[in-house]
Every structure is written in C-alpha cells, then in structure tokens.
Amino acid sequence: HLDKSAQKSLTSLSLQLADVARVLGSDDLAGYVKQLPAMRSALGSFLTASHAADGGPLHDFSSGTADPADLATARLQFAVISTAVADLARTNDVVHQQGLHVFECPMAPGIGNGRWLQRDGTIKNPFYGSQMPDCGEELDVGADAAKAHTDS
C-alpha cells in the first residue's frame, strides 16, 4: 500500500489525468500539449514518492514523455499512462475519495483494454474522441452504488 506522500501524489496525478482525458476526448491536441508540463510534473512526483517506476507500467515514462507530433501519438502515449494510473487509483481508493469515474475501452490504441479517469460520469472516450465518444463502459458502478447505499 502507498504511504501518505505517494497517496497524495497519486491523487494529484489522477486528477491531472482526468483533465488530460477531457481534452483528448475533445480531439484537442493543442490542449493536450498545454497540459503535458503539469502531467509530467505530477507523474514525476508520483514516481519519486512511490517507486512505482521500478519495473511497473509507468517505468517507460520515468524519464519523461515526448511531445507528440499528432493526436494518434498523443493517444497512444496517454493510453499506457492513463491505464496504469487508473488501476492504481482504483486499488488505492483515490477514485472513491475524489469522486472520480473509471471507464474502460476494449480497443485502446496499442494496448487493447485501456482505462481512464473522468471527473464526471458521462463517458467521453479520450482514445477516439469524436470518432467514438461513447465507446467503453464505466467500471465499479455497481460497487460504488452499493457502498453508497450501505453508507447511508
């Protein structure tokens, strides 16, 4: 399990990636490039705090991410980072604590099953944007609903 510092940096990274998913869902390459410095910073902080780069799926990004030449490259890069962070956010309770939504697309570029985080529950696929905005499904809906029901 993550210590407090790593948990905090995972939360920041998760929220940052939810914002990045939103701009990719809008086919906004310029918006993605504009968000890259903040994404790199949040990713670097998390990797330092957690040692998650040690052989994990985020290992390839421990030295940073390149500026993508086009939307397809941006989405390929994002799919790997987003899926790894969405999984970490789910297993470390960040999703529940921050009220985030996790979606999965069976056709994410380069990896097949890809996951992403959103701040709201209306699906907007960042891997395909306007081509297939609602491709995918929300994960954990039943579990969250059941938990919310037992909390009341």
Residues present in the chain in total: 152
CB count in 10 Å sphere of residue 114: 24
pLDDT in tens, 75-103: 999 999 999 999 999 999 999 999 999 99
Q: What angle do CA 16, 18, 24 make, to 5 degrees?
A: 105
Task: Compute the distance between CA of residue 34 and CA of residue 123 in angstroms, rounded to an integer.
Answer: 23
pTM of the predicted protein model? 0.88
| Low-confidence residues in the chain, pLDDT < 70 | 52-56, 62-63, 141-152
Helix (H, G, I), strand (E, B) or coil at 57: coil
